[in-house]
């Protein structure tokens, strides 16, 4: 019986994370060189509250906007990227932003690759642009913000794609037996990677960790004594995620049969999952592996590691009904994100039981900020406008002014409570 205890060392994991951050920071600097010089101020301000990967994505999105201006706006047809100044942002009209949204649906990149964006792609790029404008408007570099005068793209609910229970079993069974249908080099490759692939799939399905967390795992992050793995979350924080016996068996089989007999390349000695090149596996490699097996089992479902995470989350929620446990496990900012992630509607009773009176009051106020609440808010505005227009009418009696006074007191109390709970 193999020794199931592997001593945990957070140092190696943090070293991998630090190196990833360094690589992403250097990549961001290269992307920033392709943006107007003043853009560096915005991304510097973003640093304390965002990851380098997020800033890179935003930088790419902002660059698309400036390329749009160079290609389509006659004012900037003779510009180069480094000629843009922050004051140019004030020259953009709401109609220009609307044209940009239309442009985003289909456009060509600098390398002539055709890019298309659906609802979520449009939403993300417009959110990036609105955030970009907001920074310069807030710091009074510009006096107008045209992005606030344009409606954001509407997102329609889409079906959550996940594996059913029987499909999970079929997927793992297929990985176990796929070699029966292979010959030659394909068979040799399968035999070389079977245990590793089965361990990865079982781990993703049995813990719900992100693929980025999976590739960052080291041998020393696996604790067989307590059936847990130490994962490094977004932002660098670490958390122990526990797993069942099926995951333990798959990991142990891979480590004992394959991983311990492989000599990794220099710099990859601690990595748990290695490629055939004896390097730490990357995100893309695991994504390709998942798609390769999944398309054989569920050809009508586009299964990715993210979908496996959703599969785990849905199963756990049905088993426990505890959205707050799932939120913590998935490292989501709020339970509402977790509900959307697993395709479930919020349980209001659960929310109310968990809420403090202050949170409850704030949530009531925040209702006025979403699309449905705007209707309520507009009714209040109409009421107050009517009161204002009739305030000086001689026909009004003391009862009218008394009602106005009560209404104002209620609004003041609500606002004071809201300010105290921010």
| Burial class of residue 170, CB neighbours in 10 A (0-12, 13-18, 19+) | middle
pLDDT value, residue 16: 81
Instruction: Give the orientation angle of helix 52-72 with respect to helix 119-138, to 10 degrees.
Output: 90
Of the listed ranges 84-88, 242-246, 376-380, the one predicted with least confidence:
376-380
Extract the tokens encoding 253.
Answer: 């089989």
* Predicted confidence (pLDDT) at residue 244 exceeds the cutoff of 70: yes
Pick the CATH number of 34-149 from 3.30.930.10, 3.40.50.720, 1.10.150.130, 3.30.470.20: 1.10.150.130
* Predicted confidence (pLDDT) at residue 416 exceeds the cutoff of 80: no
pLDDT value, residue 339: 84
pLDDT value, residue 342: 87
Q: Could you tell me which CATH class the domain 165-320 is placed in? A: mainly alpha
Contact 283, 211 (CB under 8 A): yes
* Predicted confidence (pLDDT) at residue 400 exceeds the cutoff of 80: no
Tell me the C-alpha distance between 374 and 380, whole Å. Answer: 10
Tell me the C-alpha distance between 275 and 136, whole Å. Answer: 45
Rounded to the nearest integer, the mean pLDDT of the chain is 86
Of the listed ranges 92-96, 276-280, 406-410, the one predicted with least confidence:
406-410
% of the chain surpassing 70 pLDDT: 85
**pLDDT band, very low/low/confident/very high, at 181 (cuts 50, 70, 90):** confident
Instruction: Give the orientation angle of helix 39-46 with respect to helix 119-138, to 10 degrees.
Output: 100
Q: Which residue has the higher pLDDT, 304 or 377?
A: 304
* Predicted confidence (pLDDT) at residue 4 exceeds the cutoff of 90: no
**pLDDT band, very low/low/confident/very high, at 1 (cuts 50, 70, 90):** very low
Tell me the C-alpha distance between 385 and 237, whole Å. Answer: 50
pLDDT value, residue 3: 41
pLDDT value, residue 417: 58
Question: What are the C-alpha distances in Å from 415 to residues 8, 23, 246, 315, 420?
Answer: 50, 46, 53, 41, 9
Q: If we measure between CA atoms, which residue out of 162, 150, 141 comes closest to residue 88? A: 141
Contact 83, 104 (CB under 8 A): no
> For the chain, which residues make up each domain, given as ranges?
34-149, 165-320, 358-420
pLDDT value, residue 58: 95
Query: CB count, 10 Å around CB of 262?
Result: 13
């Amino acid at each position: 019986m193999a020794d199931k205890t592997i001593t945990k060392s957070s140092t190696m994991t943090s070293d991998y994370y630090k190196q990833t951050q360094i690589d992403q920071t250097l990549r961001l600097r290269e992307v920033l060189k392709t943006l107007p010089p003043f853009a560096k101020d915005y991304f510097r301000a973003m640093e304390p509250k965002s990851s380098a990967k997020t800033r890179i994505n935003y930088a790419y999105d902002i660059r698309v906007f400036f390329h749009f201006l160079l290609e389509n706006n006659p004012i900037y047809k003779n510009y180069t990227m480094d000629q843009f100044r922050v004051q140019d942002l004030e020259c953009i009209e709401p109609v220009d932003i609307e044209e940009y949204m239309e442009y985003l649906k289909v456009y060509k990149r600098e390398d002539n690759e055709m890019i298309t964006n659906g609802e979520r792609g449009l939403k993300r790029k417009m959110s990036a642009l609105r955030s970009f404008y907001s920074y310069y408007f807030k710091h009074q570099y510009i006096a107008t913000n045209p992005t606030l005068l344009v409606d954001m793209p509407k997102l329609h609910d889409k079906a959550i794609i996940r594996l059913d229970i029987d499909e999970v079993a079929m997927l793992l069974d297929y990985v176990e037996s796929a070699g029966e249908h292979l010959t030659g080099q394909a068979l040799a490759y399968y035999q070389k990677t079977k245990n590793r692939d089965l361990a990865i799939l079982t781990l993703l399905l049995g813990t719900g960790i992100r693929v980025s967390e999976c590739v960052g795992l080291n041998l020393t992050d696996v604790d067989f004594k307590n059936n847990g793995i130490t994962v490094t979350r977004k932002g660098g924080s670490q958390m122990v995620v526990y797993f069942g016996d099926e995951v333990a068996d798959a990991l142990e089989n891979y480590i004992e049969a394959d991983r311990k007999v492989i000599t990794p390349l220099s710099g990859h000695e601690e990595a748990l999952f290695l490629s055939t090149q004896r390097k730490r596996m990357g995100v893309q490699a695991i994504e390709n592996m998942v798609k390769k097996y999944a398309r054989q089992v569920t050809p009508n479902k586009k299964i990715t590691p993210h979908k496996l995470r959703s599969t785990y989350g849905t199963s756990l929620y049905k088993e426990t009904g505890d959205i707050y446990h799932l939120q913590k496990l998935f490292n989501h900012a709020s339970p509402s994100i977790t509900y959307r992630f697993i395709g479930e509607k919020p349980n209001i009773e659960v929310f109310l039981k968990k809420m403090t009176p202050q949170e409850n009051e704030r949530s009531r106020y925040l209702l006025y900020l979403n699309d449905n609440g705007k209707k309520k808010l507009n009714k209040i505005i109409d009421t107050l406008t009517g009161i204002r227009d009739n305030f000086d009418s001689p026909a009004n009696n003391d009862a009218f002014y008394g009602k106005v006074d009560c209404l104002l007191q209620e609004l003041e109390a609500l606002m004071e409570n809201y300010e105290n709970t921010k």
